[in-house]
Amino acid sequence: MDKAVTEAQAVTGPAARQDAAMKAEAAILATDAEIPLVRLKGALGIATSVKGAVLAPYERALVGKDTRR
């Protein structure tokens, strides 16, 4: 995929560049890659009395089966 992207960046004609970019995009999507476009970061305050909070990537989970107050 890096090679396809690098090759697309080297193409100068607008139509040819778009074709190369679409080819690179197709190669990336064919791998079922997950590409985060935006990451929201929340500011969290967890009381010291809370034990077992789940500090997961992307803040999608905060309470798990072992979370206790």
At a CB cut-off of 8 Å and minimum separation 6, what does 31 contact?
1
On whether the CB atoms of residues 22 and 5 are closer than 8 A, the answer is no
pLDDT at 43: 63
pLDDT at residue 40, as a whole number: 63
pTM of the model: 0.43
For the chain, the structural domain boundaries read: 1-35, 40-69
pLDDT in tens, 7-59: 888 888 889 988 888 888 888 888 887 767 766 666 677 888 988 877 766 66
